[in-house]
Chains A and B, each alone.
Chain A
């Protein structure tokens, strides 16, 4: 128990450190001192203040929110699918979002307003979610049907994305691919509030059903014998995780790996109890994504890397080390 408190404290320090570094890191030759004075005096009209308040702070907040959202979605989907390899995109959400976003970019609708692309992406996630829900419901929401439906719908939508990309011109192709790799920059304020709403209400809902999630990892049959309505819990969790993921992806693009790796690292430290694990995955996600994003925009400055590339390389390497250093039984 003391060990867990110790690690939690370390993670909280790491979180503050990440936010701090993320605020001062970057180009524009801004001094750390200036960043803080503008943070303390939000009303000043200087260039530094504008950069901090209009660019960096929203970006960090979005990074934290999306990090939390993807990590907790991954965590609970791994539980209901009883599969440690599940992630927020296993159930086709990313395919739907990508199709909506690609359509908006290629048709030029994306350029009309700040919210048109996210709106189309979110519509796409709703479409894929409804399709997967409909297919899985026909088979009592069994784990295999759910995964199969998710993978099929995901593939179908991704193929349509590729079709549209193949038919579009180079410029639009480039924008689409960059969107697909994830981008946390310059989100509109209103969008951040919407993402925050989905992420935090989803977080509360998933915590509420945390103890059922523990039982559900024993399989439907045993869960039902212990008094859990397995099908109902799977439906609720699927819907909650889909809305959280959909909201995140619509604003930030399909950032990979965070939702897979963060719950694993947290299981390593905190065990398998899902209430604890959901909370700690939230904390882990709030560190992991802003950290990757800070790296993405500083490592080969002035060129900015897509954050999805950094989460993949950074997360993948970390995971690989963990896998190679661990004893075999503990990793999952």
Chain B
């Protein structure tokens, strides 16, 4: 069953269409990667899925119900997001920060109950951030902060997790750590993941299915070996590449070719 069903979505800003006539589905428990050059409309599409941006035409269904029929709170109870960077001018403690993930589930004057605290503890444990919980969010490292942001997203108890370049500014160790974590959540908790990634090799390595976007439309979608071909990449990114095979995972591996070679 498709948890997310996008039907001929067109949306954008100030009359300019950034995403044009996009149709795709994400099955329950799938791990979907969205790739494409800067300005291809990936983030804009995410904003439409979470209801921040109203579609100009087309529909977005979450579990067969149109997302525009959901209130903000209802969307936040089912869908959570993880951005590339989150600027935190006020240094809440890690615990307080993760507690904010319970916001859509708590009423205005309701104190977090044992159930909420358990979920927070679990989110901290999964993301390996338990020992950070009394630290301040601006005192921890970039890699730790990104895991804490993931913990907050998990505290929302999402059925669908949208990640917008979650590893863009991390070193390779932390990149693999975060993506392994998300893969584990996807496998063990059957959490549906849709992730925007710039790193084509990481996308091929972790995602079951890829969508290659270009100029607001879907250029190609399918399994990583179908999408990550040198023809597709050269056409969309206008860059010369060679596609090999990762000797361990047998997934496609994109090798860049600079002008000098």
Chain B proximity mask over A59-95: 1 for CB below 8 Å, otherwise 0 = 0000000000000000000010011100000000000
Residue A221 interfacial (CB < 8 Å): yes
Closest to B51 in A: A224
- Closest partner residue, chain B, to A79 (CB atom): B90
Number of residue pairs spanning A and B whose beta carbons lie under 8 angstroms apart: 74
Give the bracket for the number of chain A residues in contact with chain B: 20 to 34
* Chain B residue contacts of A217, Cβ below 8 A: 88-90, 92
Which B residue sits closest to A277, measured CB to CB? B90
Instruction: Assess whether B50 is in contact with A224, with CB atoms less than 8 Å apart.
Output: yes
Q: Are A273 and B96 neighbours in the complex by a CB distance under 8 Å?
A: yes
How far apart are A78's CB and chain B's nearest CB, in angstroms? 8
B136 touches A227 (CB 8 A): no
CA distance A211 to B108 in the complex (A): 8
Cβ contact within 8 Å between B139 and A329: yes
Whole-angstrom distance from the CB of A192 to the nearest CB of chain B? 31
* Stretch in contact with the other chain, from B97-105, B198-206, B233-241: B97-105
* B156 interfacial contact with A, CB 8 Å: yes
A219 to B85, CA, bound (A): 11
A84 close to B83 (CB less than 8 A): no
B89 & A332 in contact (Cβ 8 Å cutoff): yes
Bound-complex Cα distance A228 to B76 (A): 9
- Docked-complex contact A330 and B91, CB < 8 angstroms: yes
Contact with A332, one of B71, B72, B91, B103 (Cβ below 8 angstroms): B91
Are B100 and A214 in contact, CB atoms less than 8 angstroms apart? Answer: yes
Q: Which residues of B are found within 8 Å of A79, using beta-carbon distances?
A: 90
Answer whether residue B170 sits at the interface, using C-beta atoms and an 8 A cutoff: no
Which of A211, A218, A224, A329 interacts with B136 by CB under 8 Å? A329
Interface residues of B (CB under 8 A from A): 50, 52, 71-73, 75-77, 79-81, 83, 86-93, 96, 100-101, 103-104, 108, 136, 138-139, 156
What are 7 of the A-B contact pairs (CB < 8 Å)? A79-B90, A214-B92, A222-B81, A224-B50, A226-B100, A227-B77, A229-B72
